[in-house]
Structures are given as C-alpha cells and as structure tokens.
Amino acid sequence: MPIHQPPRYQQLADELSRQIRQGILQPGEAVLSVRRACQVFDVSPVTITQAYYLLESQGLIEARPRSGYYVRTRLPQVLNAPAMTAPTTDAAELEVSDFIFQILDSVKDPVFLPLGSSFPDPALFPLEKLGQHLAKAARHLTPMDTVAHLSPGHEGLRRQIALRYLAQGASVSPSDIIVVSGAMEGLNLCLQAVTRPGDVVAIESPAFYAGLQAIERLGLKAIEIPTHPHEGVNIPALAAALQKHPVKACLFMLNFQNPMGGVVPRANRQALLALLRQYDVPLIEDDVYAELHFPDALPVCTKQDDPTRQVMHVSSFSKSLAPGYRIGWVAAGKYAEKVRRLKLATSLATSIPVQMGLAAYLQSGGFDNHLRHLRQQLMRQAEQMMNSLSRYFPVGTRVAVPTGGYFLWVELPEGHDALAIHQRALAQGISVAPGPIFSARGGYAHCLRLNFGHTHLSPAGDSIEKLSRLLG
C-alpha cells in the first residue's frame, strides 16, 4: 500500500493539535490569526482556514464572533482522541449478533438507562405541535390524496426537503427526492438499486450496525476501510480496495458518523468523490445526524460537490424532528428513478397522512426554532457526559470529542471487554452499545458507544459513575 503523505493543512492541524494536547496552548487562549499564521507557517490563507476548520471540527478550538479562534475550554482535555482504525481489508460475509436485538429491546423498557440506545431522547421533540399538524392533515385527507402521493411521495414535502438542501448550499431537485419510511428503508433501497447478491460494498470501520445488517441481509459482502474519527475513511486505503475488489457501492456516514461522531472536512469529501467518480461507484451517504450539529459546528453537505449526481443522500426526520413518525428520504441523484421504482415495488408509499402532516409542519416554519433549542441541549449534555467520563473512567480512556449528534465513542484501555461490560450493565438496568457490533468481524473489543441524549432520565454523572463500577 502506498505511504499516505497528509496534505499541508492537515500537517498544520496535527502540529497545533499536539501543542494543545501537550498544554503548550492552554484552554481559553487565542490561536494565531489567519493573517499572522500565514506569515509564521509560510502557507496560504486557504490552508490555514482549512487547518482551523479541521481543529474546530475536532472540538479543539472554537470561533468567537469578530474575535478569532480560541482553544476550547468547555470540553475536558484529559481524554485523548482515538486514532485511525485498522481493520482487516478483505471482503467478508457477515454474521450479526444477538447483542443488537438485546439493546434494541432494552430501549422499549422504561426501567433501562438507555446509554446503548441508537435513538435520541423522544422528550426532546415538539410532538404536540407535530400532532396538531398531523391531526389537521388526517381530517382533510381526500380519496385522491391516497393515490396522488404514491412514490416518489408528497410534492409539498419533497419541496420542503429541497429547500433545506438549498440552505446548505446544495441544489437538489424535488424530482430526485424519494420519500421513504425512515432512513433505514432508504439505505436498503439504495443498496438494492446498485447491487446484486454477492457484490462487494465498502463501509467504514467501525460502522453503524444497521448498515452491516442490511449488507448481510441482501447477501452482499462488506469490506471495511480504516477510518479516522474526524477525517473519515482513509483515501489511499479505499483506493487500494477499489483496485483490488469489484466494489459496487460505498456506504458511509460523513457527518457525526455513528459510532465515532466526527465530521469529514469538505476537502476530504472532494477527494473521496473524485476517487469514486474514477471508478463510477456510487456513494450511499447516511446523513441522519446532519441537523444535530452543535451551535458553532456546521456539518458539510456532500451534495454541494456532486456534479455527476453519484451521491445517494439518505436522511430522515426521525433524529431531528419526528421520532416514531417514520419519515425519511433519499436524494438519489442519477439513481432516482431506480430508487423510486424499488420503493414503489417494495412498499408502494410512505404513510400519506403522515407525509402531509409533516409537510404542513415544515411549511409553518417551526423547524429551525426547534433545532436551535435541540442543538444547545445536546451540546450541554455532551459536555456533562465528557466531564463525567474524565472523572470516573480509567486513565488511558480515549474519547472522540463530538461536535454534533448524541454519541460518544469511548476507547477503554486495552484489556477491557465491551461485550462482558454490556452483559453486566444489562443485568444492572443499563444498556451500552459494545464496540464489536460496529464491525463485521467483531473488532473494537474494548470500545463502547454511549448515548448522551437521554440525561433527563438520570444525570450524566450518576449513570457514568454507575457504569464505571461495571467496567471490570
């Protein structure tokens, strides 16, 4: 495999990151202005900006309006970030464990402390307001509506979704958007649209277990690509995989990846897309957490840089607005007609009164206001849990500092056994998501994914302290 020489901005970011971690740059201190840094490091302003953006997305520095960048004070610095992962990279058929279903079932039991849950805390959402809009839509549903909004779906809803892309700098036609019953249906449809049983799909390592399950269920083979929490998949490693295997699709998460939580910088995405264009391989992007960025940390919309429409962008309202409503969508680019037909053939349509109710809510304009509160709340909860981890978890624990979503990816010191912790915790009424469920081969034996979205059930300090006593 060729040796990967990181770009200049990344070398710079690494250098500053080291200075911050070693305490050379102290929390609260200003970093060099862009102009000054250009002189000091003899590089262009673009390079400095990219480096600072990367450090910001890693949660190490923060922008203060009209003042410049500062080393972050709010997140504990005693926890180090995990490094690039190193999975084996031959294609494999998968076996999915019972652990996933144990965790999913524990979520339904209100007695459990759902640190292992994949869901956001449903108490965070405007269910009453949504209900009013759904109620109105339900009362006014006409017979013609029940056929007019068959797939690709309700036009008003697709237009609202297209408007959100526009706000993120991407132009997506409503006719490329297919409404689906949640992002998981969307991922399944995308995979089916571009693969046949036996084909190879590239995934991140670690990766969201539902993606792994979908790959298994469709008789596909997964090839795991080394992935950095804040840089995304290793491009040279992916290039090698594309060369070696007949990869038919990539299934990646580029914003607040589940489980690791990072945001892949725009430059890396452009490199990724350029590589995939070369092999004419579609990128199936699972982007369900994009709206959950912390107030100052904007995610990136890959659809900005997709002139060949090879990105199949999958998202939903389940994490950002309407859990339980089961409304998602796919902006499927050049594969849109294929996905629409598959949707029509597999489940015909997504519940039509629900589509209409959601469209009416979005038109009413309440979404952005709700998101502002939600983002504040999630950031506060992340900080609480980070603080508790640094207080109660063993020395040597590494955590990727999140800038959005509601997961922390925790690498315990080697020797800890996440599956054993999972079983002990379950017996004590706590669910956790053990690392091995995020890999086709059961790696990440000493890792846990923790959900910081549910702290109203128990203060983060209490639940993390309780969990720390079960680490063994």
Phi, psi of 223, rounded to the nearest 5 degrees: -120, 125
Distance CA 231, CA 236 (A): 13
Distance CA 264, CA 204 (A): 12
Instruction: Count CB-CB contacts under 10 A for residue 251.
Output: 26
Specify the residue, 113 or 389, whose C-beta has the smaller distance to a second copy: 113
Specify the residue, 36 or 140, whose C-beta has the smaller distance to a second copy: 140
| Tokens matching residue 299 | 């995610």
Q: What are the C-alpha distances in Å from 45 to residues 9, 37, 38, 121, 218?
A: 10, 8, 6, 41, 47
Distance CA 352, CA 354 (A): 5
12 three-class SS:
helix
Specify the residue, 347 or 428, whose C-beta has the smaller distance to a second copy: 347
Min dist. Cβ of residue 151 to a second copy (A): 9
Footprint of a second copy on this chain (CB under 8 A)?
A: 96, 100-101, 104, 107-108, 110, 119, 121-123, 125, 127-128, 130-132, 134-136, 138-150, 181-182, 184-185, 188, 192, 196-198, 210, 213-214, 217-219, 323-327, 341-342, 344-354, 357
Specify the residue, 145 or 296, whose C-beta has the smaller distance to a second copy: 145
- 312 with 332: CB under 8 angstroms? yes
Min dist. Cβ of residue 120 to a second copy (A): 10
- 385 with 460: CB under 8 angstroms? yes
Specify the residue, 348 or 395, whose C-beta has the smaller distance to a second copy: 348
Report the alpha-carbon angle 38-39-42, nearest 5. 70
Specify the residue, 330 or 342, whose C-beta has the smaller distance to a second copy: 342
Specify the residue, 217 or 469, whose C-beta has the smaller distance to a second copy: 217
| 129 burial via Cβ count (<10 Å: 0-12, 13-18, 19+) | middle
Min dist. Cβ of residue 143 to a second copy (A): 4
Min dist. Cβ of residue 106 to a second copy (A): 10
Taking every pair of C-alpha atoms in the chain, what is the biggest distance, in angstroms? 69
Min dist. Cβ of residue 150 to a second copy (A): 6
Min dist. Cβ of residue 344 to a second copy (A): 6
Residue whose tokens read 């006014």: 140
Specify the residue, 195 or 234, whose C-beta has the smaller distance to a second copy: 195
- 121 with 453: CB under 8 angstroms? yes
Specify the residue, 84 or 344, whose C-beta has the smaller distance to a second copy: 344
408 three-class SS:
strand
Min dist. Cβ of residue 39 to a second copy (A): 54
Distance CA 438, CA 436 (A): 5
Nearest CA among 192, 179, 262, 193 for reference residue 227: 262
Q: Tell me the sheet residues that pair with 448.
A: 410, 434
Min dist. Cβ of residue 124 to a second copy (A): 8
Min dist. Cβ of residue 197 to a second copy (A): 3
Q: Tell me the sheet residues that pair with 232.
A: 228
